[in-house]
Amino acid sequence: MPLMTTKPMFDLAYSGGFAIGAFNVNNMELCQGIIEACAAEKSPLILQISKGARKYAKMSYLKAIIDAAVAEYPWLPIAIHLDHGDTVDLVQTCINDGFTSVMIDGSHHPYEENVKVSADSVKLAHANGVTVEAELGMLGGIEEDVVGMDAHEYEKNVEKFLTDPVQAADFAKRTQIDSLAVAIGTSHGAFKFKHEAKLAFNRIEQIMKTCPGLPLVMHGSSSVPQEFIDLVNKYGGKMPNAKGVPEAQINEAVTKFGVCKVNIDTDLRLALTAKIREVFATKPAEFDPRNYLGPGREAIIGMVRRKLQANVLNSAGKADAVVAQWEKLGKPMPKFYTKTCCGK
């Protein structure tokens, strides 16, 4: 049963010219859509769960849905990851709940505090066989809320929020993290750029020099495809000027640099929302949830399959190699996977 940490995945992805898609799960349709797409494309994947997802769906329900997916596709390499964990307590809870990987996001704290919460999380997680991602630098979107800055101001000052390569080396050494989420110009949500969409590839290059071999993670990596924005807007939505990271730039980060994990949530939300809006607008009498959530789930499958292709993440067809790497490492499993869950 290849439920695994991110290590076997990143071992291959770092220099293999591909990245693992980390897709956010909030309900059954999202989970099924993601899994079915990855199974169809034979792609390794990371299912990630935010604090908000835990609150919305309850972890016990999410765990049961994920366990069902794992049972359905026993050959598919899957990691279960905490997205944007904000406290060491939440990290501990997720370890207890059987997560195989966690993120501690102390990026909004002063540097020394970020080092402390990240190093503390690593101690806990590694003692239980769980891998850890931490973040340095400041993305737009959810983190900018913390300091009350709007997206326009962020974009104007983006250079000074990017991850500092020298600090990154110190951070990695002192925390012993397994991967680093870097700020290189991406941001969360559907409105990422007011002007030209442009990632700071020179920063990734510098970070790779100061932190050789450290797997890098890109948050805020939805591409906000125009056709989905058009559908949303056509059927009563209002999302003017939505803009994401062009898929060609994601692909460059993945194939030329050490980006091993690419986080995608907004594009799944868009696919689901566009389809549901279309059904409601074209069939106003429809009220059977299966008849709008079903097409929504199909749209998620399409969106995820699109991401796995060679021109984006290039992870299609890599499942068997990741399983082989996992076996080579001795099939490491977190200590708590079988423990019944779940904490709040």
Q: Which residues are marked as active site?
A: 83
Interface with ligand 13P, residue 219, by CB under 6 A: yes
Residue 222 interacts with ligand G3H (CB under 6 A)? no
Going from the C-alpha of 26 to that of each of 33, 51, 139, 265, the distances in angstroms are 12, 10, 22, 10
Among Zn ion, ligand G3H, ligand 13P, none, residue 2 binds (CB under 5-8 Å by kind)? none
- Among 54, 219, 306, 307, indicate the residue that binds Zn ion (CB under 5 A): 219
DSSP 163: P
Span between the terminal Cα atoms of the chain, in Å = 26
* CA–CA dist 121, 135 (Å, integer): 12
Beta strands in the chain (DSSP E): 20-24, 45-50, 78-85, 101-104, 131-136, 179-182, 216-218, 259-264
The answer to the question of residue 306 lying near ligand 13P (CB under 6 A) is no
Least distance from C-beta 105 to ligand G3H, angstroms?
A: 9
**CA gap 32, 38 in Å, rounded:** 10
Shortest-Cβ-distance residue relative to Zn ion:
219
Q: Is 269 near Zn ion (CB under 5 A)?
A: no
Q: Does 261 bind ligand G3H (CB under 6 A)?
A: no
**Considering only residues 35-94, where is the footprint of ligand 13P by CB under 6 A?**
83-84
Number of H helices, E strands in the chain: 16, 8
Amino acid symbol at 262: V
Q: Report the amino acid identity of residue 158.
A: V
Supply the minimum distance, in Å, between the C-beta of residue 161 and ligand 13P: 15
Give the one entry of ligand G3H, ligand 13P, Zn ion, none that residue 221 binds, where binding means its C-beta sits below a cut-off of 5 to 8 angstroms depending on kind. ligand 13P
Give residues 157-216 in contact with ligand G3H (rule: CB under 6 A): 188
Q: Which residues bind ligand G3H (CB under 6 A)?
A: 24, 50, 52-53, 83-84, 142, 188, 265
Q: Which residues bind ligand 13P (CB under 6 A)?
A: 24, 83-84, 188-189, 219-222, 263-267
